Structure formats: structure tokens, C-alpha cells
Amino acid sequence: MEFYNVELSKDIKSLCVEDFDINIWYDANRIKNILKCLFFNNDTIFFSFRREEDLTSDKELERLRISIIETFNKYGEYVFLKKLDEARFDSVARIDVSDFTFEFMFDIWKYFYSCTFFIPTEGFSFSDYISFQKKIKFQDKGGEKLLSKRYSDFGCIKGLGGDSLIVSYRKDFQLPDLKKAASETPDINQVFK
């Protein structure tokens, strides 16, 4: 797992976490530790999605399609916004963080090709977010529009291929030490000694 910083603009930076595989226990736990540094119980996470992942098997996609929609409907909300063509669609969701959320994030990771998620700032409602996404047509490279309008302090983006996580944030926001959080995952060989 590699970490590096990128300056997106004078006000926005991103921390890129690359070279991991969520199907490997050690990597999945490192990513889970990173997410637990960013999201806490009772936080509300907003999501935007575009199309199903083409690297996941059809059988697994079918299972995830049902399970993800059911979970969002039980613990939050899922809104299908627009079908773009046979393969692509735009949708948004929200969920309140609880103990199961971090495992659920891996289902989301496997199911959606494109995924952005963040904690909204106070006063930015889910209906505001739907309007925002419709206005920008899901075009927000690095989350710069979201962050520059101060709708969030940081935003997470699933990198293409699913082997990277990009955490964009405003320079005036103190991002937790995600590299340290990832390093606190014990090596599987140490766990079973």
C-alpha cells in the first residue's frame, strides 16, 4: 500500500492510497482502519454512484444489487436518478454509520464502478446533494466543486480499478494520519503465530 499527496488547487489537496486489494484480508483491514479514522458512529455519509463494476462477476453483481439496495432502504436511502445508457446510471444514497457500515463499504466497493462518499457539513441536506449532483451532472474531478462550496470537509473517491482510494480535502481541514491508521493493522502472519 502506497500513500502520496497531490495538490489539486490552492485550497484543495488529496491523499492517494494505492496498490491494495480489498479481497486480501490484510489490505481490507488496512482500508477499514482508514475509513474508521474518517467516519464515526452516527455520522451520515452521502454517496454518488455511476454504473456497476465490470470487474465483479455477474453472479456476485446480482447478489450485491439486491443486498445493497435493501441495506440502503433499511438504514438510509437510495435514489436512482438517471439511466445514461445500457450500462451506466447515476444514483445517490445516504446511510448513518454504525458497526456494520465498514463491512458494507466493501460490498459497495465491489458493486459500483464509480463511487464518491463524504460526510456533509451541517445544513447541507440530502435533497441539497441531489440538486447539486443534478446541476453538475456528476462531473466533479477530485471532489473540488463539493469541497470549494464547503459542502464537506473531505471526500473519498474509489479509484478506477478499485485498487486505490483518493481522499480529497480542504487545506484548512486537518486530515487524520491515515498512513498511521493503516499501519496499525497486524500482519496476518503475526495474528496466527
What is the overall mean pLDDT for the chain?
A: 91
Q: What is the mean pLDDT of residues 70-86?
A: 92
Query: Is 191 inside a domain boundary?
Result: no
Q: Kindly report the pTM of this predicted structure.
A: 0.91
**Structural domain contains residue 77:** yes
Tell whether 188 is covered by a domain.
Answer: no
**Does 185 have pLDDT greater than 80?**
no
Give domain status of residue 46, yes or no.
yes
* Separation between Cα atoms, residue 118 and residue 86, nearest integer Å: 28
Domains contained in the chain, number: 1
Classify residue 193: in a domain, yes or no. Answer: no
Domain that holds residue 148: 2-183
What is the tens place of the pLDDT at every residue in 37-68? 999 999 999 999 988 877 778 898 899 999 99
Residue 169 has pLDDT above 80, yes or no: yes
Sequence-ordered list of residues with C-beta below 8 angstroms from that of 71, at least 6 positions apart, any chain: 95, 104, 107
57 domain residue, yes or no? yes
Closest CA to 132 of 48, 11, 69: 48
Query: What band does 187 get if pLDDT is binned at 50, 70 and 90?
Result: low
15, part of any domain: yes
Residue 126 scores a pLDDT above 90? yes
Conformational region of residue 2, where left means phi above 0, alpha means psi within -120 to 50, and beta covers everything else = beta
Whether residue 35 has pLDDT greater than 50: yes
Percent of the chain with pLDDT over 70: 96
Residue 76 located in a structural domain: yes
List phi, psi (to 5°) of 45. Answer: -105, 135
Q: Which residue do the cell numbers 481541514 mark?
A: 173
Lowest mean pLDDT among 11-15, 19-23, 95-99, 138-142: 138-142
